[in-house]
C-alpha cells in the first residue's frame, strides 16, 4: 500500500478532536488494508514501528535529523535550523523545505508503507563506526522520495513525536467497526457525531472480546489480523505468550478504609503497598527467565540477581508472575524509597556492582500464567494459594508479599501501621474472588495511603537557570495526559532538586536527561520531547486559565524520577479533575 494513503488518514485525524469521528476514519481505512500491511499500519497509527514491548530504539535525535534533511534537500543545516526555530516543529519544517528542495537530481518515487517501516527499523540495528552516516542516508532515502506532506510524518515518526489523538480505546473500537460492522449493524452519523447499533449488548460483547484479545497479546496488529481472518471465535482463542509481556493490572485509589471495603467487599485481602517497581517475571519452556517493567521494558540484563532468584525459587516449567522489586538497606534490612534503586533500571554497565550496592528483594503477589495455561480468570484467592505452593521464600532475595485477610477496620489500621513501620507506602486492598484484568484500573484492587496523592507528570519544557545554575535546565514545565492522549500543561516546578548529585536527584542529572530531547528553543526556554516523567508533590490543585489543562499545582515540588514509567503513564487530566473535586469535599 502507498504510504500516501496512510498520510491522508493522518491528515483527517488531525482535523478532528472527536473520538467517534477518529474511530470512523480508521475503521473505514482498515477495511482497505491488506493482511500483509496490517501489522505496519497498526503500528504506524500508534506512532511507532516496533511493538510496545520491543526494546529496540530508533536512536535518532534532532541534530541527526537536521543533517538528514540537509542531505535530502541540499539546503544547509543552518537554514533548516533557523526555520526550525521559527516553526518549533521539525516535521512541519520538513514539509516546508521539501517543497523548496533544490537538488536537481532528486526524483519522487512512490513510497510504500513497507519501505517506510523497513528503513526506520534499520536505523535501530546500526551501530559502530560510520553509524551516523548510514543513518543519515537511510533517512535521506525516504525523504528524497517523499512528498512534502509525507516527509512531515516520516520525520515525526522517526523522532517519536506523532500526536494524532489515537489512543487504545479508538484503536479497539475501530477494529470492531471495521470487521464486525455488518454483524452488529453499526451506523456512524458524522453530522450528529453519533452511532446507532442494532443490538447494544452484542456490540459491547464484541468490544470486550477485542479488548481481552489486546490485553493478552499486547499487539493491535495481531488482534486486527485475527479479527479479519478468524472472526470473534479467533479472538476468543487468543492467549498470552510467555516472553511477551502483558499490561499489568492497575489499582484504583480509596481515601478511607470504608471506601476500600465498599469497593472490594468483605472479607478482603490487604497487602503491603511497596515503594518499588513492578516486575513481570516470565519463564519459558527452555528455562529462560525474562523480566519486564510496568512499561514492558526488558530489564533482565539489569537484574541478573532477580532473574536468578526467580529461577531458583519458583517451581514450574512455564509461568508468568507479577511482583514488586523493592530496594533495602543492606545494613539495617529496612526497605528504602524507590529513588534509591531507580538508577538500576537504565544501567547498562557495572551491573554486578550495582547489584551489590543497590540490592532488591522481589515481593511476589500474583501469578497469571502457569504450566501452559492462563489463569487470569481464576479468583485471586486461588492464584494466591498457588503462589504459596510454588514460591520458596528466601528473605532479601524473593518472598511472597505480606498479606492478611480482614473484615474489620481495626485490623486494617493495625496492618497499615505495620506496613508504614517497615518502610512501605501503605496498603493494597484486593477482592478475594476477583480475576486478573490486564491493563485496567478496576475495583478488584485498591491502593490506600494516608498522604496527599502525588502526580506522575511528563516534562514538556524547561528553562535554563541563572547565576551558578546557568549551565543547568532548572525549571520544568509539566503536563498530564488528556482524553485524546495529548499532553496538557499543569504548571512549572523547580524545587525539590539538588545542586550536588551526591545529595539526590540533581539539576545536572535532569539536564543530561532533557538536553538530548530538546526539539525547540526560544531564548532561555526550550521545548522537549515528553519522555521524562517525574513524581510531583504539591499543596493543592487550583483552577487556572494559564495552563491548557485548566488547572495549576500550588507549591509543586519534585519528589523524584519515575524511570519505570513512560509518558503515556503520566497522570490523566480526568484523575487530576477528580482530585480537585475531592479537595472541595474535604
pLDDT tens-digit readout, 313-325: 999 999 999 999 9
**Residue 291 DSSP one-character state:** E
SS3 142: helix
Average pLDDT of the segment spanning 9-28: 95
β-strand pairing of 487-493 with 289-292:
unpaired
Which DSSP string corresponds to 467-518? GGGTTSEEEEEEEEE-TTS-EEEEEEE--S-BSSGGGSSBHHHHHHHHGGGE
How far is residue 124's CA from residue 58's CA, in Å, rounded to a whole number?
4
As a whole number of Å, the end-to-end CA separation of the chain is 57
In the predicted structure, residue 342 carries a pLDDT above the cut 80: no
**Residue 366 DSSP one-character state:** E
How far is residue 262's CA from residue 473's CA, in Å, rounded to a whole number?
46
In the predicted structure, residue 335 carries a pLDDT above the cut 90: no
Q: What is the dihedral of CA 418, 424, 426, 432, to 10 degrees?
A: -80
How far is residue 385's CA from residue 248's CA, in Å, rounded to a whole number?
20
Question: What CATH superfamily is the domain 250-448?
Answer: DNA ligase/mRNA capping enzyme (3.30.470.30)
Average pLDDT of the segment spanning 370-386: 95
How far is residue 425's CA from residue 61's CA, in Å, rounded to a whole number?
38
Contact 464/473 with Cβ under 8 angstroms? yes
- pLDDT number for residue 499: 84
Grid-cell match 557495572, residue found? 350
Contact 281/310 with Cβ under 8 angstroms? yes
β-strand pairing of 360-370 with 398-400:
parallel
Q: What is the dihedral of CA 81, 86, 90, 96, to 10 degrees?
A: -90
Share of the chain above pLDDT 70, in %: 98
How far is residue 4's CA from residue 571's CA, in Å, rounded to a whole number?
35
- Per residue in 156-199, pLDDT (tens digit) is 999 988 888 888 899 999 999 999 988 888 888 888 888 898 88
SS3 541: strand
How far is residue 292's CA from residue 390's CA, in Å, rounded to a whole number?
20
Provide the angle, in degrees to the nearest 10, between the axes of the packed helices 35-45 and 19-30.
Answer: 160
Label residues 352-385 b or e (16+ Cβ within 10 Å = b). Answer: eebbeebbbbbbbbbbbbbeeeebbebebeebbe
Average pLDDT of the segment spanning 113-124: 95
**472 closest CA partner among 496, 503, 494:** 494
Highest-confidence range of 29-38, 50-59, 422-431, 499-508, by mean pLDDT? Answer: 29-38
Average pLDDT of the segment spanning 347-371: 87
Confidence category of residue 584, pLDDT binned at 50, 70, 90: low
- pLDDT number for residue 452: 63
Query: Where is pLDDT greater, at 451 or 34?
Result: 34
- pLDDT number for residue 103: 47
Q: Cell numbers at residue 193, please?
A: 457525531
Confidence category of residue 412, pLDDT binned at 50, 70, 90: very high
- Per residue in 482-540, pLDDT (tens digit) is 988 899 999 999 998 888 877 778 899 999 999 999 988 888 899 999 999 999 989 88
Secondary structure of 376-401 in HEC code, one letter for each residue: CCCCHHHHHHHHHHHECCECCCEEEC
Domain spans of the chain, in order of start = 250-448, 455-585
Query: Where is pLDDT greater, at 357 or 60?
Result: 60
**Residue 450 DSSP one-character state:** S
How far is residue 575's CA from residue 565's CA, in Å, rounded to a whole number?
17
How far is residue 40's CA from residue 114's CA, in Å, rounded to a whole number?
7
Distance of alpha carbon 474 from the chain centroid: 25
Average pLDDT of the segment spanning 288-305: 92
Does residue 236 carry a catalytic annotation? Answer: no
Mean pLDDT of the chain: 90
**Residue 60 DSSP one-character state:** -
Beta bridge partners of 399: 363
Distance of alpha carbon 96 from the chain centroid: 32
**323 closest CA partner among 262, 277, 268, 258:** 277
In the predicted structure, residue 48 carries a pLDDT above the cut 80: yes
- pLDDT number for residue 108: 58
In the predicted structure, residue 106 carries a pLDDT above the cut 80: no
Q: Cell numbers at residue 161, please?
A: 513525536
Beta bridge partners of 174: none
Share of the chain above pLDDT 90, in %: 65
Q: What is the dihedral of CA 523, 524, 530, 533, to 10 degrees?
A: -170
**531 closest CA partner among 494, 496, 491, 566:** 566
- pLDDT number for residue 72: 92
SS3 462: strand
How far is residue 439's CA from residue 274's CA, in Å, rounded to a whole number?
19
Q: What is the dihedral of CA 227, 230, 231, 233, to 10 degrees?
A: -120
- Within 8 A by CB and 6+ apart from 548, the residues are 479, 488, 489
- pLDDT number for residue 255: 81
Beta bridge partners of 75: none
Average pLDDT of the segment spanning 47-75: 90
Highest-confidence range of 134-143, 342-351, 422-431, 494-503, by mean pLDDT? Answer: 134-143
Q: Which of 273, 283, 397, 529 is catalytic?
A: 273
Distance of alpha carbon 282 from the chain centroid: 20
- pLDDT number for residue 104: 43
Highest-confidence range of 12-16, 273-277, 537-541, by mean pLDDT? Answer: 12-16
How far is residue 244's CA from residue 298's CA, in Å, rounded to a whole number?
10
In the predicted structure, residue 557 carries a pLDDT above the cut 60: yes
Which DSSP string corresponds to 196-223? EES-HHHHHHHHHHHHHHHHHH--HHHH
**Range 455-585 has CATH code 1.10.1060.10:** no
Contact 246/240 with Cβ under 8 angstroms? yes
Amino acid at each position: 500500500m502507498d504510504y500516501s494513503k496512510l498520510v491522508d488518514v493522518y491528515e483527517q485525524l488531525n482535523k478532528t478532536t472527536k473520538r467517534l469521528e477518529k474511530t470512523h476514519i480508521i475503521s473505514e481505512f482498515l477495511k482497505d488494508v491488506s493482511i500483509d500491511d496490517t501489522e505496519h499500519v497498526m503500528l504506524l497509527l500508534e506512532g511507532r514501528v516496533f511493538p510496545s514491548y520491543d526494546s529496540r530504539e530508533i536512536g535518532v535525535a534532532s541534530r541527526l535529523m537536521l543533517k538528514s534533511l540537509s542531505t535530502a534537500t541540499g539546503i544547509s543545516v543552518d537554514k533548516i535550523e533557523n526555520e526550525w526555530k521559527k516553526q518549533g516543529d521539525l516535521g512541519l519544517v520538513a514539509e516546508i523545505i521539501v517543497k523548496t528542495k533544490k537538488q536537481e537530481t532528486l526524483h519522487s518515487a512512490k513510497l510504500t508503507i513497507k519501505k517506510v517501516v523497513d528503513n526506520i527499523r534499520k536505523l535501530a540495528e546500526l551501530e559502530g563506526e560510520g553509524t551516523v552516516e548510514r543513518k543519515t542516508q537511510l533517512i535521506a532515502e525516504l525523504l528524497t522520495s517523499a512528498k512534502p506532506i509525507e516527509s512531515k510524518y516520516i520525520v515525526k515518526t522517526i523522532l517519536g513525536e506523532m500526536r494524532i489523538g489515537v489512543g487504545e480505546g479508538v484503536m479497539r473500537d475501530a477494529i470492531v467497526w471495521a470487521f464486525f460492522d455488518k454483524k452488529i449493524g453499526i451506523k456512524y452519523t458524522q453530522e450528529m457525531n453519533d452511532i446507532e447499533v442494532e443490538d447494544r449488548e452484542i456490540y459491547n460483547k464484541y468490544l470486550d472480546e477485542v479488548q481481552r484479545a489486546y490485553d493478552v497479546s499486547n499487539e493491535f496488529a495481531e488482534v486486527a489480523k485475527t479479527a479479519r481472518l478468524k472472526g470473534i471465535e479467533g479472538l476468543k482463542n487468543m492467549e498470552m505468550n510467555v516472553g511477551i509481556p502483558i499490561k499489568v493490572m492497575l489499582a484504583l485509589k480509596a481515601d478511607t478504609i470504608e471506601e476500600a471495603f465498599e469497593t472490594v467487599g468483605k472479607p478482603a485481602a490487604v497487602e503491603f503497598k511497596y515503594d518499588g517497581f513492578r516486575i513481570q517475571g516470565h519463564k519459558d519452556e527452555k528455562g529462560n527467565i525474562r523480566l519486564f517493567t510496568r512499561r514492558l521494558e526488558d530489564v533482565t540484563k539489569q537484574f541478573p540477581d532477580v532473574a536468578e532468584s526467580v529461577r531458583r525459587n519458583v517451581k514450574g516449567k512455564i509461568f508468568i508472575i507479577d511482583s514488586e522489586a523493592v530496594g533495602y538497606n543492606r545494613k539495617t534490612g529496612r526497605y528504602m524509597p524507590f529513588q534509591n534503586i531507580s538508577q538500576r533500571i537504565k544501567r547498562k554497565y557495572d551491573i554486578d556492582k550495582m547489584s551489590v550496592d543497590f540490592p532488591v528483594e522481589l515481593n511476589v503477589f500474583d501469578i497469571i500464567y502457569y504450566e501452559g495455561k492462563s489463569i487470569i480468570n481464576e479468583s485471586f484467592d486461588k492464584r494466591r494459594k498457588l503462589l504459596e505452593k510454588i514460591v520458596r521464600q528466601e528473605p532479601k532475595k524473593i518472598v511472597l508479599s505480606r498479606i492478611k485477610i480482614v473484615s474489620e477496620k481495626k485490623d486494617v489500621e493495625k496492618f497499615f501501621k505495620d506496613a508504614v513501620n517497615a518502610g512501605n507506602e501503605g496498603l493494597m486492598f484486593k477482592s478475594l474472588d476477583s480475576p486478573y484484568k490486564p491493563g485496567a484500573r478496576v475495583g478488584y484492587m485498591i491502593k490506600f495511603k494516608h498522604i496527599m496523592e502525588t502526580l506522575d507528570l511528563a516534562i514538556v519544557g524547561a528553562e535554563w537557570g541563572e547565576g551558578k545554575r546557568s549551565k543547568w535546565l532548572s525549571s520544568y514545565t509539566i503536563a498530564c495526559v488528556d482524553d485524546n492522549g495529548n499532553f496538557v500543561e499543569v504548571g512549572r516546578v523547580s524545587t525539590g532538586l539538588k545542586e550536588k548529585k551526591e545529595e539526590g536527584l540533581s539539576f545536572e542529572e535532569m539536564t543530561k536527561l532533557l538536553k538530548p530531547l530538546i526539539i525547540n528553543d526560544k531564548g532561555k526556554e526550550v521545548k522537549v520531547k515528553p519522555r521524562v516523567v517525574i513524581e510531583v508533590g504539591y499543596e493543592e490543585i487550583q483552577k487556572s486559565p494559564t495552563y491548557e489543562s485548566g488547572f495549576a499545582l500550588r507549591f509543586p515540588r519534585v519528589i523524584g524520577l519515575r524511570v519505570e514509567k513512560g509518558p503515556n503513564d503520566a497522570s490523566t487530566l480526568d484523575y487530576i479533575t477528580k482530585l480537585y473535586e475531592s479537595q472541595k469535599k474535604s
